[in-house]
Structure 1
Amino acid sequence: MEHKVTFILAMVLMLVLSALVEGQTETCDVQAKARKNCGFSGITRKECEDRGCCFNNKVRGVPWCFHKQVVEAAEEEEEDCPF
């Protein structure tokens, strides 16, 4: 009986978490001052991207390897369906 309860609670938790994440996307379009460091001094583009992070070395004094930013996905316009 306990296994069934644990399983049901796990399923409910997964459904809640998936609903929270739905409609979100990640982007590397992060303002320089808002970057959160994901690497170390001297990290290469490949090393950074292998970590799943973004690399942009165009701005001095900020992290070049940084975490992606989570943003709300643009809502798609629903097309009128004749059916």
Structure 2
Amino acid sequence: MEYKVFCTLIITLMLGYNVLTQGVFETCNMTPQERKNCGWSGITEKECQERNCCFDSNIRGYPWCFSPRQEIEDNEC
């Protein structure tokens, strides 16, 4: 009995999460001023990507490993 309740709860949570995040996507395209640090000094590109973060080492003085920005997809005609 407990197994069925647990499975039902997991499925419900997964479906709820899917509905809440529908139309939301993440992008690494942002200005350097918008970057929020997602790593530490000396983090490698691979380590950054393993944390599901963006990596761009081209701009000094701003985080190279940073959190992606979430945007809401506009489906209006």
TM over 0.5: yes
Identity %: 46
Amino acid at match of 1:40: W
Q: Report the secondary structure of 1:47's partner residue.
A: helix
Q: Tell which deviates more after alignment, 11-20 or 29-38.
A: 11-20
Instruction: Report the CA distance shift for 1:11/1:49 in structure 2 as closer, same or farther (over 3 A).
Output: closer
2:3 matched residue in structure 1: none
Is residue 2:47 matched to residue 1:47?
yes
SS at match of 1:46: helix
Per-residue deviation, residues 37-68 of structure 1 (Å, max 9, x unmatched): 00000111111111111000111111000011
Q: Considering only aligned residues, what root-mean-square deviation do their CA atoms show, in Å?
A: 2.5
TM-score normalised by structure 2 residue count: 0.72
- Say if 2:52 is the partner of 1:69: no
Alignment TM-score, normalising by the size of structure 1:
0.67
Q: Which runs of 5+ in 2 are unaligned?
A: 1-7
Which has the larger Rg? Answer: 1
- CA distance in 1 between partners of 2:11 and 2:50 (Å): 31
SS of equivalent to 1:20: helix
- By how many angstroms is 1:18 displaced? 3.3
Amino acid at match of 1:44: T
Give the aligned length.
Answer: 77
